[in-house]
Amino acid sequence: MRFGTFPVDEAAGAILAHSQHVGDTAFKKGRRLTDSDVRALQAAGIRDVVAARLEAGDLDEDTAAERLAAACTGTNTTASTAATGRVNLFAAADGLIVYDPDALDRLNAVDEALTVAAVNPYTSVETGQIVATIKVIPLGVPERIVAEAEAAACAGDHTAALFGIAAFRPLAAGVLQTVLPGTRDKVLAKTRQTVRARLDSMNSRLEAEAQTPHTADDAAAAITRLRSRGCDVILIFGASATTDRRDTLPAAIERAGGTVERFGMPVDPGNLLVLGRLDGAAVLAMPGSARSPRIGGNDWILRRLCAGLDVNAAEIARMGSGGLLKEVPTRPLPRAKAAPPERGDARASPRIAALVLAAGQSRRAGHRNKLLAEVDGTPLVRRVADAVLASRARPVTVVTGYDRLAVEAALADAAVATVCNPDYASGMASSLRAGVKALPPDIDGVVVVLADMPDVRGAVIDRLINAFAPAAGAEICVPTWHGKRGNPVLFARRFLPEMLEIEGDIGAKPILSAHADAVRAVEMPDDSVLRDLDTTAALDAYGASRTD
C-alpha cells in the first residue's frame, strides 16, 4: 500500500485518508475516490489529497476486518457489517465468553495493523452485548498479514474460531443452610433470596432447600437428600466459616459419599470456597461473602457450572490473576480507606470507636452487681471505662441496662456517652445492637469491650488498633495469650450490619466464625485479656489477690 499526498488529478481509485468538505458535500475518510469525485475536488480548487492506494496483494480495511471477524466468530456469536475497518462481535446467547488469551495475544502480535479487543475470558454476557471489537488500523493491509492473523485466531484451544459463548443451561440447584444458636431467620431468608436471584440470572432454578444444625452428620444427611431430589449442584451456606479441609462442611461432603477437590481459592472475596463432587453433582460450600449479591469467587465457579464448563482444582488455582474483586456491600471501600496514607494525611491512624457492654444482670454473681464492686477503691465499670479512655479509641460509648442509674452514677464525669438497652434481659446481643446503633457513621472500626474485665488496659486496645489493617486482611483483631483468644475484640466497620442481626447471649462470636479469613490474632504480653469476673467466687478471689 502506498500512503501519502497525491495530486488530485491522479487520485481516482485512491482511498481518502482525511475527510474533505466541498460545499454541502462531505467526502469522508475511507472513501474510494471516483472520477466524478476528482472533478468535484478540482472544481473546488483542491490540488492535493492525503490518500492510500492499494497495491497487488493488498486488502482494503473493511475486507480485512470482515475476514478476521469470520475467523473470530464462533459458537453463539455474531458479527456486524464492516465500517471504517471495524467489526463488532455480539453475544447471541446469555452465557460466558470463552477464548484462549494466549491465542488472542498471538493474533495481536501478528502486525500492528490488526487489533482485536475483547472482554475478559469467562465474563458473563447477555444476548446482544458486544463481546469483542476488531479494528484494522490502516486503510489497507497485505493479504498475507490477514491470513497469518486468521491462522493465529484458530490456533488456540477453540480451533473453529477464537471466540465462543458457552450458553447458560438450566440446572436444578439445592441449597443447604446450617444454623447455630443465634442464627437469625432474617439472615437465612436474605440468603435464600440472593441465591434465587443469582440462579435466575444463569437460567437455573432453586429446586430444593434444607436447613440443619451445623454438624457434619446433619449436613451430610441433608446433602444426600438434596442429591436424591435431582439437584445438579448443591450450594451449602454454613453458619460458621470453613477453616480447614477437616472442618464441618468438607467432612459432611465426604460423609455423604462425595469427594473434596479443592478448599480455598485465590479470589477475594471468596477465599474460603470448597469445591466437592457427589455422584456427578457439584457441591459447593460457599464462603460467607456469597450471602451478598455482589460478585465474588463463588460466582466465577457457579457461572462455569451453569454454562456447562468443567471446573477443577487446577483451574481454580489459576484464578488469582484478576482475583482481587470489588467489595461486598457490607464492606464500604475498606481497601480504599486503608490504602497507605500520604505523609501528613490526617487519616494515617484509623478512627476506632469503643463500645463497653455494661448492661448485664450479673446473674452468676449472686445478689451483687459485679460492675459496681470496687477494685482498688474504684467500681469495676468505672475502672474499665478509664482503661478504655486511656487508649486511642474514640468515642467511647457504654451500654447500660440492668441497675442503670447506679451504673451511670459510677461513670459520672467520665468522658463517655451512655446508651440504655431496655432489652438487656434477652442477652448480650441486644446490648451489642443498641451500642452499634449509637455509633457515629464515619468510624473505621469498633473495639467491643466487656465491662467485667478488671485488668484491661489502654495499651491492649492500642495494640489491637496498631494491628488493624483491612487492606492486608486484618479486619478483625483478637487479643491472644499463648494462642488462646480473649477480649476485647476490634471489628472493621463493614461488620456492623451483621452485628445488628445477632440474637441471644453470644455476643459477636458468630462473626468471628463466619469470617475466619479476616481475623488476625494479636499476641499480648500477659493473660489479662483472658480474665473476667463472672461469679461471686471470681470477684472474691480477685479482691483477695489484690490485698495479698
CA separation for the pair 7, 50 (Å, rounded): 9
Question: What pLDDT score was predicted for residue 128?
Answer: 94
The DSSP element (H or E) to which 431 belongs, if any, is helix 428-437
Scored b (16 or more CB within 10 A) or e, 422-460 reads: eebeebbbbbbbbbbebbeeebbbbbbbbbbbbbbbeeb
**Tens of pLDDT along 378-415?**
999 999 999 999 999 999 999 999 999 999 999 998 99
What would the mean pLDDT of 202-223 be, rounded to a whole number? Answer: 96
Cell for 419? 446508651
Q: Which CATH class is domain 59-167?
A: alpha beta
| pLDDT class of 547 with cuts at 50, 70, 90 | low
Q: Which CATH class is domain 172-317?
A: alpha beta
Measure Cα distances from 3 to 18, 28, 39, 55 in Å.
12, 17, 21, 11
Domain 2-53 in CATH 3.90.105.10: yes
Question: What pLDDT score was predicted for residue 341?
Answer: 42
Is the model's pLDDT at 20 over the cut of 60? Answer: yes
Give φ, ψ of 494 to 5 degrees.
-65, -15
If DSSP codes are grouped into helix, strand and coil, which group holds residue 536? helix
CA separation for the pair 432, 392 (Å, rounded): 21
Give all strands (DSSP E) within 246-358, no chain letters: 259-263, 274-278, 281-286, 352-358
Tell me the pTM: 0.63
If DSSP codes are grouped into helix, strand and coil, which group holds residue 513? helix
What would the mean pLDDT of 5-10 be, rounded to a whole number? Answer: 85
- Residue 298 · residue 270 · CB < 8 Å: yes
Question: What pLDDT score was predicted for residue 439?
Answer: 95
Listed residue (279, 248, 278, 250) closest to 262, CA to CA = 250
For the chain, domain boundaries: 2-53, 59-167, 172-317, 352-530
**Tens of pLDDT along 454-492?**
999 999 999 999 999 988 788 999 999 988 999 999 999
Cell for 157? 484451544
Question: What pLDDT score was predicted for residue 84?
Answer: 86
- DSSP readout, 131-166? EEEEEE-SSEEEHHHHHHHHHHHTSSS-TT-SBEEE
Is the model's pLDDT at 159 over the cut of 60? Answer: no
**Tens of pLDDT along 486-511?**
999 999 999 999 999 888 777 788 89
CA separation for the pair 111, 68 (Å, rounded): 13
- For the domain covering 352-530, report its CATH number: 3.90.550.10
